[in-house]
Protein backbone atom coordinates (compact mmCIF):
# COMPACT_ATOMS: atom_id res chain seq x y z
CA UNK A 1 0.00 0.00 0.00
CA UNK A 2 1.36 3.43 -0.92
CA UNK A 3 0.24 6.50 0.99
CA UNK A 4 0.66 9.73 -0.97
CA UNK A 5 0.87 12.77 1.27
CA UNK A 6 0.23 16.30 0.00
CA UNK A 7 3.34 18.30 -0.86
CA UNK A 8 4.53 20.16 2.21
CA UNK A 9 2.39 18.04 4.55
CA UNK A 10 3.44 18.41 8.16
CA UNK A 11 2.55 14.95 9.45
CA UNK A 12 3.66 13.90 12.91
CA UNK A 13 2.39 10.31 12.95
CA UNK A 14 0.45 7.76 10.95
CA UNK A 15 -1.44 4.87 12.52
CA UNK A 16 -3.05 2.04 10.58
CA UNK A 17 -5.75 0.15 12.51
CA UNK A 18 -7.32 -3.08 11.21
CA UNK A 19 -11.04 -3.93 11.27
CA UNK A 20 -10.66 -5.55 14.73
CA UNK A 21 -9.13 -2.41 16.24
CA UNK A 22 -5.57 -3.71 16.34
CA UNK A 23 -2.75 -1.37 15.37
CA UNK A 24 -1.20 -2.86 12.24
CA UNK A 25 1.37 -0.17 11.65
CA UNK A 26 2.44 2.97 13.45
CA UNK A 27 4.95 5.50 12.15
CA UNK A 28 6.33 8.58 13.82
CA UNK A 29 7.73 10.96 11.25
CA UNK A 30 10.75 12.79 12.59
CA UNK A 31 11.97 14.31 9.33
CA UNK A 32 10.34 15.47 6.13
CA UNK A 33 11.95 12.70 4.09
CA UNK A 34 9.41 12.64 1.30
CA UNK A 35 5.71 12.45 0.70
CA UNK A 36 5.22 8.77 -0.20
CA UNK A 37 5.13 5.94 2.32
CA UNK A 38 5.20 2.26 1.35
CA UNK A 39 3.52 -0.15 3.74
CA UNK A 40 3.58 -3.92 3.33
CA UNK A 41 0.30 -5.09 4.88
CA UNK A 42 -2.14 -7.93 4.27
CA UNK A 43 -5.41 -7.42 2.40
CA UNK A 44 -8.29 -6.10 4.50
CA UNK A 45 -10.19 -3.08 5.77
CA UNK A 46 -8.20 -0.48 7.71
CA UNK A 47 -8.56 2.95 9.26
CA UNK A 48 -5.70 5.27 8.40
CA UNK A 49 -5.24 7.95 11.07
CA UNK A 50 -2.88 10.87 10.43
CA UNK A 51 -1.90 13.36 13.09
CA UNK A 52 -0.55 16.67 11.82
CA UNK A 53 2.15 18.62 13.63
CA UNK A 54 -0.45 21.30 14.46
CA UNK A 55 -2.51 18.67 16.35
CA UNK A 56 -5.19 18.14 13.68
CA UNK A 57 -6.28 14.50 13.25
CA UNK A 58 -7.52 13.06 9.96
CA UNK A 59 -8.91 9.57 9.39
CA UNK A 60 -9.95 7.62 6.35
CA UNK A 61 -11.19 4.08 5.72
CA UNK A 62 -8.87 2.13 3.43
CA UNK A 63 -9.45 -1.17 1.61
CA UNK A 64 -6.29 -3.09 0.73
CA UNK A 65 -6.74 -5.77 -1.94
Residue 8 DSSP class: T
Reported as a single tens digit per residue, the pLDDT across 6-61 is 667 688 888 889 999 999 887 766 555 555 667 778 889 999 898 888 888 888 89
Residue 33, pLDDT score: 53
Architecture of domain 2-64: Sandwich (2.60)
- Domain positions in the chain are 2-64
Predicted pLDDT at 55: 86
Which pLDDT does position 7 carry in this prediction?
Answer: 66
Start-to-end CA distance of the chain, whole Å, equals 9
Higher pLDDT, 9 or 63: 63
Amino acid sequence: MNVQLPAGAKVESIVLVDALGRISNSLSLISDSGNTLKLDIPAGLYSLILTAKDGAVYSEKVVVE
